Amino acid sequence: MSFFTIQWKKDGIEILDQRLLPAVERYITLKNPAQVVDAIKTLAIRGAPAIGVAAAMGAALGARHIRAGTTKEFLSDFDGIVSFIASARPTAKNLFWALDRMKRRAHGEIGGAGDIIVALEAEALAIYDEDIRTNEAIGRHGRDLVSDGDTVLTHCNAGALATAGYGTALGVIRAAVSSGKRIAVIAAETRPLLQGSRLTVWELMADGIDVTLITDGMAGYCFKEGLIDKVITGADRIAANGDTANKIGTYAVSVLAKEHRVPFYIAAPCSTIDTKTATGSGIPIEQRHPDEVRSFMGVQSAPPGVAVKNPAFDVTPAANIAGIITERGVIRQPYTKNIPMIVGDDD
C-alpha cells in the first residue's frame, strides 16, 4: 500500500490525517492521550477498528508518562487515562474492547511500572498486528459471497483507512479482486463528512479498483436500475441479535436492498460484536455538531442557526442483513443463536 493509517513510533503515534484527504496526504504524530482523544473526536483517525488501535496505542503512550510512587498508584492513574480515552466517541465497540484489553494486560502483569509499560506497548502492537490479520481473514471468508462481474455498493469507509490495514468491507473487495474476480464498486458519498467520496474512492483508486461515486440520494436510482448486485458495509457495533450500527445512511441502504432483493452484508471483526447489548436500541448513537450539516467541506450551505439533526450512525435491523462476515466465518440468521457460536463470550 502506498500509505499507512497508523504506526507506533518511538516518539508517539503517527497517523495519516484523514481530515485533509484526498487533497493533502499529511502524517501527524500524536504524543499524548489528549492528542489521541482529539484526533479521534475530530476524525483525523476514524473507523471502528482504527479507533480501537489508536486508543490502545494512546493508552500505552499515556502509561509512559505516569509518575507514581507505587504500582497501585500507577495502575490507578492508568485506569484514569483509559477512562479519558474511552470518552472520545461512544458508538464504536472496538474502542472499549481495545481499552478493556489494555486494562486487563496492565492489571495482569506481575512486576512494577517499568514492566507494565513494556507489556502495554507489546499489547498495543499485538492489537495492531491482529487487526491486519483479522481483516485478511474477513476478506478470505467474504470473497466467496461476491461473484465475478458483481457491482458492490458500499457506504462510508470500511477500508484500510478505517483499520490498521486492508479493511473490512473493502478487505472483502480486495480479496475478491486478488482472487481474479472482476468487481466494480459503487461508493456512496456519505454526507455530512464524506468518508465515501474522500476516503473510499481515494483508497480504491490508489489500488486500481473500479469505483464509481454517487451521492447518498442516488442509491435508490441505482437499485431501481438494477446496477447493484451486493451491498457490503462495515459496522461500528453489532448487538447480540445482529442489529448493526454503522454510518448514518446505512439503514436506508439496507431498506433499499431488501426492497430490491439485493443481499446486504456486514463485514466486521468479532471485536465489533457487543454480546452484552441485546438489541440495536441499546447501542449509543453519537450526535455530532450541527455545523457539520450546516456546511459542506467548511463552506456554509444552510442559513446560520437552522435547527439540525446530526446522528453519526443509524441501526440496521438484523432482519435486513444477509450475513455478518467475520474473521471466524460468515454468521447467518438467526443471529441470536449463531453469534454466540462464533464469538463465545470474549467480547
Span from 43-51, 97-105, 143-151, 211-219 in contact with ligand MRU (CB under 6 A): 43-51
Among 47, 62, 139, 192, binds ligand MRU (CB under 6 A): 47
- 270 lies in the site for ligand MRU, by CB under 6 A: no
Q: Cell for 320?
A: 435486513
Q: Which residue has the cell 463552506?
A: 299
CB 240 → ligand MRU: shortest distance, Å? 19
Active site residue 236: yes
Could you give the 3-state DSSP secondary structure of residue 331?
Answer: strand
Backbone angle region of 125, left / alpha / beta, with phi > 0 → left and psi within -120 to 50 → alpha = alpha
* Contact between residue 235 and residue 272 where contact means Cβ atoms under 8 Å apart: yes
Q: What is the DSSP letter of 307?
A: -
Q: Which is nearer to ligand MRU, 56 or 116 (CB)?
A: 56
- 323 lies in the site for ligand MRU, by CB under 6 A: no
Q: Are strands 329-331 and 323-326 parallel, antiparallel or unpaired?
A: antiparallel
Of residues 131, 236, 274, 314, which has the active-site annotation?
236
Q: Cell for 187?
A: 461508493
CB 22 → ligand MRU: shortest distance, Å? 15
Q: Which residue has the cell 455478518?
A: 324
- 247 lies in the site for ligand MRU, by CB under 6 A: yes
Cis peptide before 263 (omega within 30 of 0): no
* Amino acid identity at 309: K
CB 320 → ligand MRU: shortest distance, Å? 16
- 228 lies in the site for ligand MRU, by CB under 6 A: no
- 246 lies in the site for ligand MRU, by CB under 6 A: yes
* Residues sharing a CB contact under 8 Å with residue 297, sequence separation 6 or more, in sequence order: 194
Among 95, 164, 312, 331, binds ligand MRU (CB under 6 A): 312
- 187 lies in the site for ligand MRU, by CB under 6 A: no
Q: Which positions are annotated as active-site residues?
A: 236
Where along the sequence are the contacts to ligand MRU (CB under 6 A)? Answer: 43, 46-49, 92, 156, 158, 162-163, 168, 195, 233-236, 246-247, 312
